[in-house]
Structure 1
Amino acid sequence: MEAGSQKNSIQYFNKVNMMKKIFVLILFLQFVTLFSQEVEINNCNIKYEIDTIGLSKTGILKLNITNKESQKLKISDVFHEVYIQPIEVEKFEASLNNFDKIQKSIIDVNCLDCFGKFKNLKPNNSISYSININESKFFKKVLKQSKTTYRFNIWFDTIDMIKYSKSKKCFAPNFTSEKIIYTTK
């Protein structure tokens, strides 16, 4: 009889242990639910325009950002070259008379001192940035050959361009340009 009662007490002990674990798990989940905050931060209503007229001659493109919000946005007055990268790059092969894709991945960059001062951009006003892709290390790394025609999109990492304010909490979504044809010098 003692063996049977010992077996029952072990089963009872295992059930109690399992119930304790389930209870602790439920408490943990309630704690996480209670103390976690769901913060919803939306995209700012902004309009991107890119001007590539004369890009092959000068290497300079212009990025215009227009505030379409009903309130002012604090936006950086500098757009550093580390925040643009060529993606989906294709090189023109004259012998085949077509564009061949080049392997390229987006490089993650953290640059904490790449922003200038933040200034207020009023509703329906724009800020313009001139960016020289000939001086960009990411473009130099991908567009290596001189006097070669490339076709690519430009990825603009704009997520940190806007500073939150008390009245408006939103962020600038990243922007990708249409295909651009560019001939290196």
Structure 2
Amino acid sequence: MENHELITLKLAYSIDDLSQTKWNKLMFFIDSAAICLNDQQLTNFTYIKMPYGPVPENYRSIINEMKAKNIINVSTNLDISDAVRIIKPAMDLTYIDQVNQMLDTLDKEFTIIDRIINSFKNWSAVELSNFSHMLNSWIEPNLYQKINLDSMKDDQYLKQNFQLGNFGKILLS
């Protein structure tokens, strides 16, 4: 399994309301923290500035491919909106130990994925989008342009509100 597939399964096992929008933001935060802490993303995604915040380039194809590989299920929650797509693991819970073991080798030093989950799992997709809109990495590029994750190492909004500009270091504190 590819790193983003393992991370997606971990997120889907851990977060009941993992919408497509929430997944987009959490993947961005995971890779941003990884860049801040060890100059290397956990996925190979390129992130794009979209109206509702940062998203992996071709995110719909990525999600559809994971669905086609029977890694995740995607459903529409009509109680929320006919446009909200909810991501759930297609594999039963017995696979979570295997997923965790594989992710431990990927993210052993900083436990970024667990820290992102613990920090943001109760945030709504709207709250995550609003937060991402405050960050230089989203403000600086034009719409539909590539986002520079390195800007999360020295972000003005984070400095003003958390006294540290480095997203990864804030996550560790």
Same fold flag (TM > 0.5) = no
Task: State the TM-score, normalized to the length of structure 1.
Answer: 0.23
With a CA cutoff of 8 Å and minimum separation of 6, indicate the structure with the bigger relative contact order: 2
TM-score scaled to structure 2, two decimals? 0.24
Higher strand share: 1
* Structure with the bigger percentage of helix: 2
